[in-house]
Amino acid sequence: MTTTTPFGAANTAVLGEPKAQIARYQGLRSANSLGLTRSRHAPISSASSSLIRAVATPAKPETVTETKRSKVEIFKEQSNYIRYPLNEEILTDAPNINEAATQLIKFHGSYQQYNRDERGGRSYSFMLRTKNPCGKVSNQLYLTMDDLADQFGIGTLRLTTRQTFQLHGVLKKDLKTVMSSIINSMGSTLGACGDLNRNVLAPPAPIKRKDYLFAQQTAENIAALLTPQSGFYYDVWVDGEKFLTAEPPEVTKARNDNSHGTNFTDSPSPFMELSSYPGMVTNDEGEPQGFNLYVGGGMGRTHRLETTFPRLAEPLGYVPKEDILYAIKAIVVTQRENGRRDDRKYSRMKYLISSWGIEKFRSVVEQYYGKKFEQFRELPEWEFKSHLGWNKQGDGSYYCGLHVDNGRIGGVMKKALREVIEKYNLSIRLTPNQNIILCDIRTAWKRPITTILAKAGLLHPRFVDPLNLTAMACPAFPLCPLAITEAERGIPDILKRVRAVFEKVGLKYNESVVIRVTGCPNGCARPYMAELGLVGDGPNSYQIWLGGTPNQTSIARSFMNKVKVQDLEKVLEPLFYYWRRKRQSKESFGGYTNRVGFEKLQELVDKWEGPEVAPARYNLKLFADKETYEAVDELAKLQDKTAHQLAMEVIRNFVGSQQNGKNE
């Protein structure tokens, strides 16, 4: 998430010379950039003196030097609140849109892409990303997205780490049809790719408990609070017709409150970005009391540019639950008024906090909040919950969490999910680990639903390889323009090779590490919080990051650069071998790498000549005779697996398909 001023609003009090404008019309401006001019020594006119900057911090000194802004900021300023020239570009016969429209369409929830596998030309298409606070998706919206993927996309849906859908391969001529279909199904893509809050995450499980329900409602309220109000989205895609539901009165009240100078008085969209992470506090009866606020987290970075970095959010303060929307406004406005506008690499909130320090950031936020933050409240130890498998909702119904490799829904899996969701009129939730949860399942439906899902390979989590359960990869090639190497298409083979290394060095099947792969350093699959992160840094080459934890609450560090994909075993074998032999009791792989230190790990890698090879033997638990083993071994080689791997996979799939809803 990058942060900017409101659509068309500048972040300077300068009243300088008129800015360059597109000839057709003047883009709408904020009060401090309306084209009013005066000479260096002339008195301020009554018109300019009536402008209200609406901030609580002291105004910056006026100067005749205009603050430097990036090209994207100028595109936005001249866009009539993110309308022009996109509204004209989407009507042309060309398969693509121009540079300005390419930047602006992000605010509408879309990226322009092209197929990088093709040579000799570019086949343009668009990726659309939905916006689903806390991952909630209605039955109608899911079925619409499923249809759109077949009719206008590449036949698959992708679940993202932001608890949203991505729809790939939409042609420009179909954009308006696809967008209007999503809107008519009470969905939205508004802001899902732009310089504002792209989504608001929350625990996805549909558990009917006070804390879960309150966290999810708060996420929806925050999303409503920060939604742009100018109407540009509906003007472009549904000719101005708005499809809105009534929002809670506390959201409207918080948005309109300007008692501490948070609002632009001349802008319908006074809020930008959210990069804060509330941790909810409850009392002994489970009643929500308030939130611990964390700010400044972010994954994106640039290779070999040390001034860019991944960063964990850090504690800001505690607010009672009734103040959460006002605290969020204060955080967002602090970034809006002080974040970088000249260089987009540094425009995120984490760089402002890194530059200022948390104390200064807190002090400025408190001015907009109107009071001091309270001391942090004690929280339980962080626990990673996947919500996979069958679970009780607490209202007599069940929910079923399903693991989806890399979040990619297609083929027989897509058909099976469609059948179940449509037949039983289920709503769903998307998780930050790219998985899907089927909600509100009656007891009598468990057996037939499990049978349908198992036949499509959607198994109970205990029949899924533990390495796959926490692994993630970004889409990367062929459509992402930022990709340097493979991620989603490459991770299946990488995980098979890691499993083979586990077997080779003597690690048990039920042991695992958190593995994440991205095709570039932007970190969309959160590789910098993984125990083993592979970050693309060249063709078929990865930077290796180590040191995250299984509950994903710490930042990993760069261990090696430019490791070719074919050479991964040379690094992974010694790391996993010595983890097995030298780890402390129940020590995770990430914990081991941090304790031993990277200098020692590098020494182990450099001198590695392979583990001691035990005498060959047949696994009589799986193979009753040598002939069966050799037959399975030959078949396994065709799939780049060991005989043991193939046999275990067949057994797990068979057992999983026979469960028929017996598992709770």
High-pLDDT (> 90) share of the chain, %: 71
What single DSSP character describes residue 145? H
287-315 per-residue burial string, b: 16 or more CB within 10 A, e: under 16: ebebbbbbbbbbbbbeeeeeebbbbebbb
Radius of gyration of the chain (CA): 26
Question: In this model, does residue 180 exceed pLDDT 90?
Answer: yes
Question: Exposed, middle or buried by CB within 10 Å (0-12, 13-18, 19+), for 271?
Answer: buried
Rounded Cα distance between 524 and 479, Å, is: 14
Residues 387-410 pLDDT 10s: 999 999 999 999 999 999 999 999
Rounded Cα distance between 70 and 34, Å, is: 19
160 or 230: which leads in pLDDT:
160
Residue in 321, 293, 511, 469 with CA at minimum distance from that of residue 384: 469
Residue 374 tokens read as 């309270």
pLDDT for the residue numbered 241:
82
- Angle at CA 91, nearest 5°, toward 90 and 94? 75
Where is average pLDDT lowest: 33-42, 396-405, 524-533? 33-42
Q: What confidence category does residue 1 fall into, taking pLDDT thresholds of 50, 70 and 90? A: very low
Distance (Å) of CA 255 to CA 8, 319, 362: 19, 18, 21
Q: Which residues pair with 324 in a beta bridge?
A: none
Residues 279-308 pLDDT 10s: 677 777 889 999 999 999 999 999 999 999
Question: What distance, in Å, lies between the first and last C-alpha atoms of the chain?
Answer: 39
522 or 651: which leads in pLDDT:
522
- Maximum Cα–Cα distance for the chain, whole Å? 98
Alpha helices in 402-536, H assignment, sequence order: 411-423, 446-455, 466-470, 491-505
pTM of the entire structure? 0.84
Rounded Cα distance between 252 and 133, Å, is: 18
Contact 459, 652 (CB under 8 A): yes
Residues 186-211 pLDDT 10s: 999 999 998 888 999 999 999 999 99
Contact 362, 317 (CB under 8 A): yes
Rounded Cα distance between 499 and 519, Å, is: 21
Q: What confidence category does residue 34 fall into, taking pLDDT thresholds of 50, 70 and 90? A: very low
